[in-house]
């Protein structure tokens, strides 16, 4: 009787709402997809081709989606259509290190030149438009304020304001969910483990793409990538911390 609350805290009840996940093929969005698949009975995915240098992340998506379906009979049924949207205009109207072959540097305004102005605002707006047509009522994104690069469009306030603006502008009741907003990279790995066990951690390690320079190269402990760009460093540090946390927990149990 009293154990019910403990059980429900571990296994979230399946929500009758349906979700559209912003899915790039990276670590964060793959974890968000697993999070959505464990909560909503129908889940679709959206990806954007905006002329990113790391377009390889778009190439890993189809195989990754197939493997996510293979995780369980439930996920197989829940994971629906994938939508790839051409947003190449972002590359045409902005000048950033993610869309041009220039060195990654810090700008005078305190933001790295990997910041693509308006990117997440545009992504969410386009996702909301698609969700409207598809009858999906939750938008899920991997925005994170904890160890981000200072990108203002990853802030919780930005996403909250955008949710209000979208619903006002479209007369909808869309919900914007950002499950990674207040956790760091190590906790993101731990979240993946809690959702899909070691198998999901291994899948994310080997099959997702994070490197800004689009390099696959050798498989490191933390995954593929150049190992030196800010995205690779963040991912590698997070993985090391996660492994350390797991070991500390294990030794505490033994002790």
In the complex, the residues that contact Zn ion under the rule CB under 5 A are 211, 213, 225-226, 229, 232
State which residue, 123 or 222, has the beta carbon closest to Zn ion. Answer: 222
Q: What is the bridge-based pairing of β-strands 15-22 and 138-140?
A: parallel
Q: In the β-sheet with 79-86, what is the strand arrangement from edge to edge?
A: 79-86, 40-49, 15-22, 138-140, 175-177
CB of 226 to Zn ion, least distance (A): 3
Spatial distance between the Cα atoms of 129 and 138, rounded to a whole number of angstroms: 12
- What is the DSSP track for 203-231? HHHHH----TT----SEETTEES-SSSHH
Rank residues 138 and 213 by Cβ distance to Zn ion and give the closer one. Answer: 213
In sequence order, what are the residues at sequence separation of 6 or more whose Cβ sits closer than 8 angstroms to the Cβ of residue 27?
Answer: 185, 188, 204, 208, 210, 223, 235
User: Residue 169 and residue 113: Cα distance in Å, rounded?
Assistant: 31
| Smallest separation, CB 229 to Zn ion (Å) | 3
Burial of residue 233 (CB within 10 Å: 0-12, 13-18, 19+) is: middle
What angle (nearest 5°) sits at the alpha carbon of residue 64, between those of residues 61 and 67?
155
- For 173-202, letters b (16+ CB in 10 Å) and e give ebebbbbbbebbbbbbbbbbbebbeeebbe
> Is the Cβ of residue 162 or residue 211 nearer to Zn ion in the bound state?
211
């Amino acid at each position: 009787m009293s154990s019910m609350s403990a059980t429900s805290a571990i296994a979230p009840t399946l929500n009758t709402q349906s979700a559209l996940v912003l899915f790039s093929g990276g670590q964060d969005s793959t974890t968000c997809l697993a999070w959505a698949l464990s909560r909503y009975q129908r889940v679709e995915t959206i990806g954007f081709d905006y002329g990113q240098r790391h377009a390889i992340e778009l190439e890993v998506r189809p195989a990754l989606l197939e493997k996510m379906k293979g995780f369980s009979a439930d996920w197989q049924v829940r994971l629906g259509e994938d939508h790839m949207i051409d947003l190449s205009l972002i590359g045409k109207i902005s000048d950033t290190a993610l869309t041009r072959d220039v060195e990654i540097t810090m700008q005078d305004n305190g933001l790295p030149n990997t910041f693509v102005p308006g990117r997440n605002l545009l992504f969410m707006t386009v996702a909301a438009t698609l969700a409207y047509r598809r009858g999906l009522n939750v938008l899920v994104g991997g925005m994170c304020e904890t160890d981000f690069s200072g990108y203002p469009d990853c802030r919780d306030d930005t996403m909250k304001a955008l949710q209000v603006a979208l619903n006002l502008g479209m007369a909808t009741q869309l919900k914007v969910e950002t499950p990674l907003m207040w956790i760091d990279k190590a906790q993101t790995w731990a979240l993946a483990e809690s959702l899909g066990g070691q198998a999901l951690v291994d899948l994310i390690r080997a099959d997702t793409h994070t490197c800004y320079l689009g390099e696959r190269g050798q498989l490191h402990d933390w995954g593929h990538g150049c190992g030196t760009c800010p995205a690779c460093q963040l991912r590698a540090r997070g993985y090391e911390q996660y492994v350390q946390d797991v070991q500390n927990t294990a030794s505490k149990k033994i002790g």
